Amino acid sequence: MIELQNLEKRYTNPATGQAFYAVKDLSIVFPDGEITALLGPSGCGKTTTLRMINRLIEPTGGRMLIDGQDVMAQKPEMLRRHIGYVIQQIGLFPHLSVAQNVATVPDLLGQNKAQTAKRVTELLGLVGLEPGQFAGKYPHELSGGQAQRVGVARALAADPPVLLMDEPFGALDPLARDKVQDAFLEIQQRLKKTIVLVTHDIDEALRMGDKVALLREGELAQFGTPNDLVRRP
């Protein structure tokens, strides 16, 4: 379970010298084994929130706990092993094959070739890429949807209990997005990761989220199940 308590990030606007809150007094719980969609328009603080959880950005106030442990007290290396991160531009290494891209995760680098190959095969199967067909391909030979699946496989390689996903389907055309979203929901049914999914797309939030947290100007405006949200006037 991830718990944010009165989390805040304050920036100073360089043009005016005025301080403003990108995230303000944000208290929210992301339950274990569920997808929580962090929804809101551009600039409402979604990415800042997500990146504070894995400490790519340091908060200016508040607390973050994962399974009761203070995130700020943990070594970033330990934290990153615990937390997978998937972004829109997944940034596959262009000169590495699909299998090599998936195997760049520190946990796999320490293993022998046979173990690594087995794990990579497992992961590609999991994200719906036939290992025999895709392991040896290079990123430029993949469709957008396929590349995004490789990114998900890589994020899952260390088997982190927590997955942070920032607009993971945002760069895909609608057809590919549907397919990858379905595939991902199917994976999640088996893996039951604790997922925070950032999106500005309300349909995606309602479809993917067990819970939806609506942010407005850095603050939590609504929180509930998709049903709770659509029922409100």
Which positions lie near ligand ADP, rule CB under 6 A?
11, 22, 40, 42-48, 141, 143-146, 176, 179
For 152, residues 6+ apart whose C-beta sits below 8 A from its C-beta are 86, 127, 168, 184, 187
Dihedral sign computed on CA atoms, order 118, 177, 148, 51: negative
Task: Pick between residue 42 and residue 112 the one whose CB is nearest to ligand ADP.
Answer: 42
CB 38 within 8 A of CB 46: yes
- Minimum Å gap between C-beta 114 and ligand ADP is 28
Nearest C-alpha neighbor of 80 from the set 193, 194, 184, 162: 162
CB nearer to ligand ADP: pick between 148 and 194: 148
Q: How far is the CB of 188 from ligand ADP (least distance, A)?
A: 18
50: its two tokens: 């997500």
Minimum CB separation of residue 68 from ligand ADP in Å reads 26
Closer to ligand ADP at the Cβ: 10 or 82? 10
Residue 211 contacts residue 1 (beta carbons within 8 Å): no
Q: Which residue is nearest to ligand ADP (CB)?
A: 145
User: Closer to ligand ADP at the Cβ: 61 or 144?
Assistant: 144
User: 2 or 150: whose CB is closer to ligand ADP?
Assistant: 150
Min dist. Cβ of residue 226 to ligand ADP (A): 20
Phi, psi of 176 (to 5 degrees): -65, -40
Nearest distance, CB of residue 161 and ligand ADP, angstroms:
24
If DSSP codes are grouped into helix, strand and coil, which group holds residue 113?
Answer: helix
Helix (H, G, I), strand (E, B) or coil at 74: coil
